[in-house]
Amino acid sequence: PLTLLGILFPILKGGVSPTTTATAIFAALSIATVTYLRTHGAGSVARKLLLTTASLLFYSAWRWPFTALLLFSTVLDFNCARAIHRAPDQRRRRLYLTISLIGNLGLLAFFKYTNFLLGALGDLLGIAGLHVAIGPLPIILPLGISFYTFQTLSYTIDVYRGQLDPRESVLDLALFVSFFPQLVAGPIVRASDFLPQLDEEHRWDSKRAKAGLLLMCQGMAKKLLVADTLAPIVNQAYSSPSLYSGVSLLVATYCFAFQIYCDFSGYSDIAIGAAQVLGFEIPLNFRRPYFATNITTFWRRWHISLSTWLRDYLYIPLGGNRHGTLRTYKNLMATMVLGGLWHGASYNFVIWGTIHGVALAAHKLMMSLRHQHTVTDTKHPFSWIIHTAITFHLVCITWVFFRAETFSKSIAIIHRIFLDSAGLMVPWLFPAVLIPALLVSDSLQSRTGIIDTIVKYPRLSRATVTICIAVMLAIVTSSKPSDFIYFVF
């Protein structure tokens, strides 16, 4: 009842958009009905049907015609997986996998990269002296298409590899593809992690539900109190970089580093928490990435569901590190460039991925050279601060290309940061200013410890949830929160 009241309160207060109202009603009814079904032991088919219907309604609240894309991917991969499993030889198995890849990646390429490719073609013609006007087509990017495309591909690929049996019911796959908590912005859930949970008996667990609610509140706190507070600073500086000094632009870049972390990890917390309330477990997506002491460790902690997906379904199939050093570096570069393009269709994302690919290859090279020579370890006791600072600033440099709207703005921002005489002094503030801020923001990320302790005590957990919901409602109804950054991907 407390959760339902918290969801419906903004509607009762007034001033909420029709879409928000519909979403709130949907969330309240979904949680209430699923809780009733699980508490009263209704059949699993009813629960699956309810969650699938609710998820499709949730997605259709954005633009209902695009729900057909979800259904198309579901039906395509359901039939391809069954065909792969029944195929008499490897050639036909590979054929059905190819059909799945072309169908899913073809849709993603059309909606996400058509205008980018047309623009690149226009640039090439311009370089050749042929000035042909190639205008962008009126294509709307479907919400969350990058996320659910990778999810559904994991299903057919795992069936092809023999790591997963195809489902007998299309309803199971439909729920997996459209599951609403993480549908539009991740984490990217794999079929092998989600589908087996549909075969389990779900009983109401009040402790797990409270932990999920607290995790949702934690995610909202990251989003509303940190990310949305930093957003105006970043937007103002990056919209007109020529008006600001190197110091201001560097501070804005630092702000964006924490904005995107709290924004994206905040959404992941909300998705994981909501799934927990509904009785499902979704893998962790962030693990204190800004404490990484090298770029390899950073990618093991940042957007974990994407980095592991790219590793298992792209880097390793390309050959990984099995065919020599040069081939390993090529595979790293290809994986990170494609990872950059996954985020967006622009030159800036290509550069962002390329820099990360070069950094990963350089770190791997340094590690291999280090292992070839026996060196006495004489690290300074505070060397972790130095390594963390270097890694953080490398990531911040790449964030400039990620955040800036155009390549020219990216170069202008980096130019002013490094060549403005005052700007060079700011990095020295990192240990004094950013480490405490990092400790505060990352303390919110811990899913063990404080949340588990609170959940152990019923009165404390109820009071904490009540206070958190009240604070979040006060913030939400007194201001207009900005969209989550990763909604555009």
Helices 67-86 & 90-127 angle (0-180, nearest 10): 140
pLDDT for residue 375: 44
CA angle in degrees (0–180, nearest 5) for 229-27-264 = 35
Residues of the chain with pLDDT under 70: 1-43, 371-382, 421-453, 455, 457, 459, 461-462, 465-482, 486-489
pLDDT for residue 113: 86
pLDDT for residue 161: 92
pLDDT for residue 245: 84
CA angle in degrees (0–180, nearest 5) for 8-14-16 = 80
Are 59 and 67 in contact, with CB atoms under 8 Å apart?
Answer: yes
Are 257 and 395 in contact, with CB atoms under 8 Å apart?
Answer: yes
**Residue-wise DSSP of 83-118:** HHHH-SSHHHHHHHHHHHHHHHHHHHHHHHHHHHHH
pLDDT for residue 42: 41
**Reduced to 3 states, what is the DSSP secondary structure of residue 183?**
coil
CA distance 211 to 166: 32
pLDDT for residue 401: 94
pLDDT for residue 273: 87
Are 224 and 444 in contact, with CB atoms under 8 Å apart?
Answer: no
**Reduced to 3 states, what is the DSSP secondary structure of residue 137?**
coil
pLDDT for residue 83: 93
Angular region, 87: left φ>0, alpha ψ -120 to 50, beta rest? beta
pLDDT for residue 469: 64
pLDDT for residue 270: 87
pLDDT for residue 31: 64
Structure tokens at 206: 């009040």
Q: Of 225, 49, 73, which Cα lies nearest the Cα of 144?
A: 73
Q: What pTM does this model have?
A: 0.81
Active site residues: 343
Please, is 147 exposed, middle or buried when counting C-beta atoms within 10 Å of its C-beta (0-12, 13-18, 19+)?
A: buried
CA distance 21 to 41: 30
Backbone φ and ψ for 87, nearest 5 degrees, come out as -60, 140
CA atoms within 13 A on the CB side of 96: 23
pLDDT for residue 432: 47
